[in-house]
Structure 1
Amino acid sequence: MFKDLSNSDEHSNKSQHEIITPYKVGVLLLIKEYCLNIPKAINERRDFCIVALKIIQAPDMDISSLLTMLNNPDYVLQRFSRNLEIECNHLLKTGIEGLLELFDALTRLIKPSQEHPLSSSHSLCRSSVLGLYVRRLIVFFEQLSFSEVAQLYDAFVKNYKKQTNNNDLNTTTTRLSKSLYNNNKFQQTNVWDARQAELLVAQQAHALQTDEHKAMPPGELQKLVRELLRSNPHYAEAHYLSYLNCLRVNEYCGAIDSLYHCFDRLAPLDNRTHIDDRTKTFRYAALNLASLHGQFNNNDVAKNALKEAIMMAQEAGDNICLQLANAWMYHLSDDNKGQLIERSVGKANSLGITHTTSLSLISSAHDYSMKGKNPVYIFQMLVKSDVLNCQHSMMDLMSMSYMEKSALWSYYGKFEMSILNSQLLLLHNCGDKKQYMFNGTSTCQAVVNLANAFVQLGEYKIVDVIFNHAKNRFPNEPSNKIWMLHKQLYEFTKMMRHDRLIDAEFIANQISSLDPLESKFCLAEVSLAKGDYPNGLNYIDDIELFKNLNPQNRVRAMILSSQMISSSVQPGDGTSGTKSIVLLNHALEICTKNYLSYYEAIVKMHLANIQLTIGMPNQALNVIDDAIINILSHGGWFDQARAFVLYAKCLIATAPKFGNKRKLVIQNSIKYLVKAQINYHKVEAFGRLKNTLYLLSMFYNEIDFKNERNQVAFEYRQLDQQYPTKTNAIMLY
């Protein structure tokens, strides 16, 4: 949330009074018994520390549940369970006097150490967790009247007698929250006081925003919210926790209702004296509402809410709210985005809003990359963001910066650097200090990047393992959309390489629900492979109608369009070749302008292929020599295999017609075709592999290598029987 809810007067002035319940009396009896029992084994001390932290953070239970926890076989606290029962029976016999003796004994335990010259080990440290807990309850107990003490004793007697009448303690065990225990279910009888609720809400909200798999499941967390609201009906933070929980499952109605309820309980009171206090809740409510609509892509509604927040922030002179609104404005807007980001960076830096400053620097780097700015300047901006992130330990933006670097390196065609940054991000989120992990969308994208790298290497079993890990680690919105999309793209790539075009088309249509643009690209590739060129060109036209198409996607569309134009006519047609070359030259210009080095090499390979088909092999070979190094340095096995095949074709096309020189060239070409064969086999590109085997058999036959020719022909036949395909694009790169 953009505003600390505790800043409101209702929350800052709320009563700190705590109700002493029979459960808390039972906990105090346990603490006293532990401190007075001097001989304790090391495993008893360890288990008691673990259990003590749980029971003081847990909701109020009955005494039977407390005894059941102590009798748990996972702990060696059965001795203290028996002593606790003895103390409870003693308290029942001594009455109110026994209750007073309990608090007197606790007071003696927490006296300063100078009053204990022997420094006995059973004394309770005043500044420890248990010491603070006991001192707090002593203070509130001393404020009780005699009648209230009598009521507390009667409640304890009733609670304990209920336990003694129950023969099976395990059936009454109350399940505690996942963040406190390893169980997930809650019973209707749990009672949460303000501090326990505040701690649990803070834990769950932090987990949802940084490391979701540590949070409770959505259904269990919603049950917890309802339970918290039964104990504290006016607890606004519980509604905000419900809002975050609804967002993770993409539930719009529940999210907006929870947000409304949250700010209803923060509504200003009529007796406030400061005008700013009256409007502060309203403007931050509008800002959070804009954030909600923005996350559900209701951009027009979100902008209206932002305008309302900006108007109220300007009236109150709240510069921080204005900068937060400005950050959302450039996120939602397409026009003048660069100016809005620059303004946000300067103003947020002057106001000391480091989170917004760093986020704006990352957004500015992304925006400049789409506009073709120099990569050196862009990475310098990301370094400035890294400095702020490290200085202020902003884990979410550290991860975002790593992921932005990875995306930029991939965009510029340096895939090894992209994978390196993804690995650095994952390394940053592992090690001994796992409590500081950030498992947001950037981490999910890093996991997916590794999967994509293994797809390029043909390691499909490893890819399946990685996607299963992503499915378990990121089950909810918005991260699950990332791995779901890339898993579908992986399946599509695999089907295309297997030449299973019907299955590939089915997957391409499914992708439309996750990414309509990528779905159009996939459908265009399927149409190209099927030879349905008019339909493929229609998909290309649809792609060009998309708003804010980035340079990389424009180049992809031009490459597909040139392939369809060159494939729709007979090889050697000069007119189609000229059209394709003009289109590819335009794509090459875009690549050069935007520093897209890998796509520049891919475009050159397509240019060389068209030059080869229209009878210009020497020019094609020169172009390949310029581009193939980039392909071999940064491309996957599939792209490298395509480059080897095209290079071998150009060598043969430029070789002499007869003589030993031609034989030497053919032998050299065979070496490249064998490398292509190995690479195609690794990625299971069976159609391309059969084309390569066909070329190999022709070359072996020409130089009279009959055994090798027969072996290759046999492999071709076996492959054709296992994977029958009808490849009609043998002339494509």
Structure 2
Amino acid sequence: MEGSGENLDFSRLINVRGNVDNITPHKIAVVAFIREYGLLKIEAKTMINCTMAPKYRKDFCILALKLIQCPDMDFKDLETLLTDGRYNLLSVHLENFCVRLKNIHVNGISALMDCVTSTIDKLMIEQSETNPCTITRCSVLGFYLRRIMLQLDKLTFVQVVSLYKSFCVYYQKGRPGLMMRSLSKERLNHMESTVGVPCTGSPSLPEETKPQEVFTRMNLIERDNSLEECQWSRKQAELFTAQQANLLQINERKALPPKQLQKTIMQIMNDIPDYSDIHFLSFLNCMRMKEFCGAQDSLYNCFDRTVFNICSSTNNMNDKNKNFRYAALNRAAMHTQFGHLYVCFYLHFAPLRLQAMILMSQVQLSYSATQSTNVLLLNEALSWAKKFHLHYLAATVEMHIANVQLHMGCAKNALLLVRKVLPLVMAHGSAYDMARGLLLYTKCRIATAPPSGEARIQVFQSCCEALESVKENFCKIGAQVRLLQTWYIQAQLYNDVGNIAARNQCAWMYRQLETQNPVDLSNMLHIMY
């Protein structure tokens, strides 16, 4: 493993550019590899007593699946993979593959487009008794080819030109012709005589056409370093992230070296900026490098994107709460790893103590006739929350204080405090917190409403409208007792304003819920904030 003192660049942990499932030179090369095999298979079917040996079919399928799933690789790495003997491949297949790539490099955009479109046209034809289909549309290869074709159709001309330019850079950075030279004439004769498949369909290359002339004609001679970076699809990134994260946790030595892994992580972030798991992999990589700032930024970025994803999905509340708990746990583990014991106390023990103090105040409010001790307890909890900069917990404590003030008859003070704190709760709170915060605000408005007249009726009508939002949020999380209390208050308000039909509807709903969930009314009225 590389030394921990190595200087890694963690400044690009957040990226804004990205495109899920880009078409890359590697994908074009994979299409060409599939194409030439399919054409050989078709040619073998047209010949008498000629079939492709099972070992070639088996190894092609295994290799094709690997090329589809693995991250993009350089052309020289692809050449090595095809020629190092790990897979039994027809030499005529490799020869035609090399010629096809050279044809794209020399003949330009039309050859690139033809490579993809002709693959679909020739290999995915309609099934018939006399003309069997080489690749079915619903197979793994068929799905891959159709997806590439669909993405290619969506590209503008400028994007296609960029794709061709990046392909030329990809091809030239490899070792063009080396694979062809490695396929000796003796090896070709031996393999083709064994299989009985002649070399067919090799695209012709006019000698007078030179790559340099193509570049000049298209004004593409200048290099762009950004095109030399591989581009990642979502599935490739997920596979890579899962593999590396697993290795970092069970066998760190087998994972990529820190610098190389971080470089790959940056590429994935650049291509898929909303992919949260890659930021967690960056967090693990920074942890093993003892890079606190990078680890903290990566963890925050992971959490931000996870929150966005779960808020935009249909996950239930338990799944969302689980993600929040894991985020806090990972943050505490990070600080423990770096020896920040005070921060660990701040993250866990301080909130627990605050919650215990709040719970104690709830018990006192429900069963004690005097409130001097309760207010003192909540004020102490508020001081703790402010000391540790726990802003949301401080807001929660202030809501509890406002609730105590309301029960003590200090409705105006309670209303002022709720008005100050409610925006924070509505901006950052859960559905439950938003509902009970708005419910407390409504109670304070009712308690401070004018004693009579049109103004009182207007306040009550406004409160009835606010309670609709309260009921909606309580329904989301199944808070039946809270919902019962809300129906009860709303029925009373409609009765006071003279809306008998609405009152009866609320009373009927209250009766239905009360039958399903019997609750002692005296206990229900003492429910804390």
**Normalised-by-shorter TM-score class:** 0.3 to 0.5
TM-score, normalised by the number of residues in structure 1: 0.36
